[in-house]
Structure 1
């Protein structure tokens, strides 16, 4: 318990002291935590270098893994029940749209979870995915604190009810790159993402991408990562070939 008292000493306090962390968790969850320690761990970054009594690291990464599994299970069960005609491929794609990294980051930002991170690193240096990682870790903490039923109720309230609109999701594109590649393969067209560093004048490292289909440059894009640049180029290619791709 010494660790948990220490990390509350400055910006947070123990629930017994009426701390704002406990109150805030209660507001976010919709119920009072039974064991606040699970939630403290869900917001502890590995840079804190904390260890438990057995010498194991204390951070949110294992809870993130658990929360990812719980979220996927609840969403899968919901889709299975709500879309009885959906085959395995359809259900898998729909689940991917709901639990996409982009959507999880949005959920984490909406709850302002980054506010509660215990870290020796400034939150300004965290990548965008920290928001979704914390959301998954929070779900993992709920599972340990309240079991599957409590976890399911939270996911229904925070994810399914406000965001899962099946007709809208059916038309949502989560990866233009996948769509373009699938179309090229179906049409037996060659494709190639030519990636190169493009530092430009901003002083920040960027990557440029040329997407070639059958040897012809169809789209160009640049972004702060190779993945983002490829996705952006694929999106531009998608709109260039939209009518043909939609007929696939």
Structure 2
């Protein structure tokens, strides 16, 4: 896709600052800076290419997600030669979980590069992981698989991936709670409702009941997050009774 020369409306100093900032994160000089610009272009910016098609980071995010999954899968496959398919899949899920990707994006402070019409304080947590994946996609398009693999090795695997620690990491507290309730033949209910607080973003609240008794409460910007947060609190409240499932 070709972009018009004024697509990003950047001044030379801004271009220079962006190039230096991205180069420091990548560990190498990008060949096509415009691809990396696109990796941080939020849909709210309403940018279009010369044919009038919307331009934002979402397609790069899709590509980066695929590349990240492939490279991490290869790493785990080589690192744990005796791991079966279920184990390898679980380990990959832990490394590329949305929570972990959000942490990666935050650690690199990628949000500083995002161009949007929405104040950055109004973004949800997932913006950090989204642009991280988009950045991976941009690397692949700009420099190919090997550079993409080196970047993930440097920024993801070396500083964050410890197989033994990951084996004990919980991906979903909600799944743990539900599995435990089913094994113990206990009833459970997630009562989710829209919160009427004064937050800028809409929030949802949840009450988690087990056998008719409320064991935890939580609120978040989505129903899924609220349920997971309540489940985590329930887990720690009941951890002496609950056992983590074996890998």
User: Normalized against structure 2, the TM-score is what?
Assistant: 0.89
Of 76, 89, 93, which aligns to 1:96?
93
- Among 235, 238, 242, the alignment partner of 1:245 is 242
Deviations for 1:6-36, whole angstroms, at most 9, x for unmatched residues? 52128723xxxxx111121111111111111
For residues 24-74 of structure 1, what are the alpha-carbon distances to aligned partners after superposition, in whole Å with 9 as ceiling and x for unaligned?
111111111111121111111112222222332211000000001101111
The C-alpha deviation readout for 1:67-125, integer Å capped at 9, x for no partner, is 01101111111111111122222111111111111111111111111111122222222
* Separation (CA, whole Å) in 1 of partners of 2:55 and 2:221: 31
Deviation at 1:198, TM superposition (A): 4.0
Aligned partners of 2:56, 2:27: CA distance in 1, in Å?
24
- Describe the superposition over 1:141-175 as per-residue Cα deviations: whole angstroms up to 9, x where unpaired: 00001111111110000000000001111111121
**Displacement over 6 Å in runs of 4+:** none
Partner residue of 1:121? Answer: 118
3-state DSSP of counterpart to 2:185 = coil
Deviates more, 1:113-122 or 1:153-162: 113-122
1:203 equivalent in alignment to 2:198 = yes
Point out where structure 1 has 5 or more consecutive residues left out of the alignment. 14-18
- Pairing of 1:186-197 with structure 2 (within 5 A): 186-197=183-194
CA contact (8 A) 2:187 2:211 kept: yes
Which residue in 2 is equivalent to 1:152? 149
CA RMSD of aligned residues (A): 2.0
SS in 2 for 1:33: coil
Q: TM-score, normalised by structure 1?
A: 0.89
**Paired residue for 1:9?**
11
**Aligned partner (choices 49, 53, 57) of residue 56 of structure 1:** 53
Pair 1:172-2:163 in alignment: no
Contact 1:108 1:132 in 2 (8 A): yes
Task: Name 1:69's counterpart in structure 2.
Answer: 66
CA deviation vs aligned residue, 1:179-220 (integer Å, no higher than 9, x gap) = 111222233332211123443xx5235433222223333323
Number of matched pairs: 241
